[in-house]
Structure formats: structure tokens, C-alpha cells
Structure 1
Amino acid sequence: RGSDGLGITVSYWTDEASAKAWRDHPEHMAVRDAGRDLWYSDYSLHVAEVTRSYDWEKP
């Protein structure tokens, strides 16, 4: 997170069913609710599909 508190979290899932299973997992639901109560006044969640990905390493 930056000094302004803004940041990004990226999460990758094998498929939509796996992402939904995590969303609905009781332990995750409890932690998510605690985060909403304690730390967040708002957030945005965006679901997207990666169709292409690249890596590069300096030789």
C-alpha cells in the first residue's frame, strides 16, 4: 500500500467456480466481513479473464 493507503491485490483462479467457492468459503467470508468493519470504507472488485500473459527477464 502507498502512503495514501491505496493499493492493489491480484488473485488468480483456475476457473470461475473456484473463485466463487473461495468467495463463499466460511473462513473467507468472516475475514472479509472483519475487513469491511475494521479497515475499509469502500473498495472496488473487478473480475477479468487473462487472455495473454508475458514474462521478460533481463539477460
Structure 2
Amino acid sequence: MRAFAGVFFAFLGVQSEENRRYDFAKGRFVVFAVAGLILTFVLLLTLYGLVQLTMMYVQ
């Protein structure tokens, strides 16, 4: 769960230097890579959904 939080806050650009250092020191790369891929997929699906919703109201 901490990996998802770390990746999420890094996505937003608000992760503190202390948390970043902790994540690199204690975290496993695979966990962060998977969390990053999942959050990227969720972001893309959200953007796609918003575009589809917007296009539905424009037409």
C-alpha cells in the first residue's frame, strides 16, 4: 500500500524528499514498477472516460 501512495504522490509531484529517500531505501523496484503501471493505466482510462463524456455532450 505504501508503494501505491508513494507512486501516486510522485505522479502529483508532491512527494517529500524524506518519503522519496525512504521509498528508494526500503522499497522493492518490482512493487514500485507494478504500482506505476497500474496507476498509469488508471490515469489513461480516466482521461479516456472524460474525453468520451465530453464528446457525448458536444455532439
Q: What is the TM-score normalised by the length of structure 2?
A: 0.31
- Which has more helix, going by share of residues? 2
Q: What is the TM-score normalised by the length of structure 1?
A: 0.31
